[in-house]
Amino acid sequence: MDALIVTGGAGFIGSSFVRHLLRETTDRVVVLDKLTYAGSLANLDEVENDSRYRFVRGDIGNRELIRRLLEEHRPWAVVNLAAETHVDRSIDAPRDFLESNVLGAYELLDACRAHFEQLTDRERERFRVLHVSTDEVYGSLGSTGLFTEQTAYAPNSPYAASKAAADHFVRAYHETYRLPTLLTNCSNNYGPRQFPEKLIPLMILNLLEARDLPIYGDGGNVRDWLFVEDHCAGLLLTLRRGQPGRSYNIGGGNERTNLQIVDTLCRLIEQLAPAADNPRMAERGRRNYSELKVFVPDRKGHDRRYAIDAARIHSELGWQPQHDFDLGLQATVQWYLQNREWCDRVQQQGGYQRERLGLGERQ
């Protein structure tokens, strides 16, 4: 039976990808995760009894651990989803992002290079290393245009800079050592099990508890939204059909301002958990969820607009997103409504109470 190693597999996208692999393939899936604040075994409850799943707690920066896992499992692919991902946290503690996203990615790549060099010719032909990155490496767009794979990198946050550096190492390891790497740059993901520091789950939980809905600046920052299951399908397709050395942008084609996202969530929560029936709203003297919106000072270096051109993955690999944005968002809201225990568990585990981050003060 074939095997894959998925690093960062206990996080939001990582755990979604693990479940996708176990549904769509017959492969064994070895998950390596450090279990920092946003990685939780609660994300993998559904698969813990699957005989093809194995969890290993550890750091991608641990070269010896990576070497042992590669030697033991001889995977046909390594997928790197291990990363610090929240821009606000990168403003407060950029060194954490350097250590995990750059140095960790380097150690993983170099261990894969050493492993690749001792494989048989047949094993080399199949072996792949997929590094999962972000559209934030491209910087900020104006009111028009789209990010393509040829767009010059211009990262504006410590998070984006750390991911850009790792992307360059991925390219260099292909060009220099002929390591068969693949690189994907995705737009903003949404869906179940996303840690509540991110916009959509943060707003959902704040709405249910009648807490303020903090909106940065004027709320006009634009993001392209991608349902996490569509992203996972794109990752597996890239592994199977992608050309080593190439990068593929994966985007949902759903541009929305942050304010539009918040307004939509207000309407959805009203339909599913009416404000009139919410005792927290009565305690605050609010009759409408939209009254909870609060505009706060903008994030430092806040990119104005991201938008992905996914033509390459469409034309070369045949990928298309399958989820309508409005239906996907409604399903996401329903999941959080039905899984409040999970929300409480991961917030407690991560030591996070939905306070504002990214004010430039080390925590």
Considering 53, 138, 159, 248, which one is annotated as catalytic?
159
Both tokens assigned to 157: 């946050």
Specify whether 106 is catalytic.
no
Rounded to whole angstroms, the Cα distance separating 169 from 103 reads 10
| Strand ordering across the sheet containing 188-190 | 188-190, 222-227, 255-257
Specify whether 248 is catalytic.
no
Rounded to whole angstroms, the Cα distance separating 310 from 147 reads 9
Rounded to whole angstroms, the Cα distance separating 38 from 42 reads 11
Burial label for 128, CB within 10 Å (0-12, 13-18, 19+), is: buried
Considering 135, 167, 303, 309, which one is annotated as catalytic?
135
74: left (phi over 0), alpha (psi -120 to 50) or beta: left
Rounded to whole angstroms, the Cα distance separating 110 from 70 reads 12
Rounded to whole angstroms, the Cα distance separating 36 from 247 reads 28
Considering 33, 59, 84, 136, which one is annotated as catalytic?
136
Specify whether 361 is catalytic.
no
The residues that are catalytic are 135-136, 159
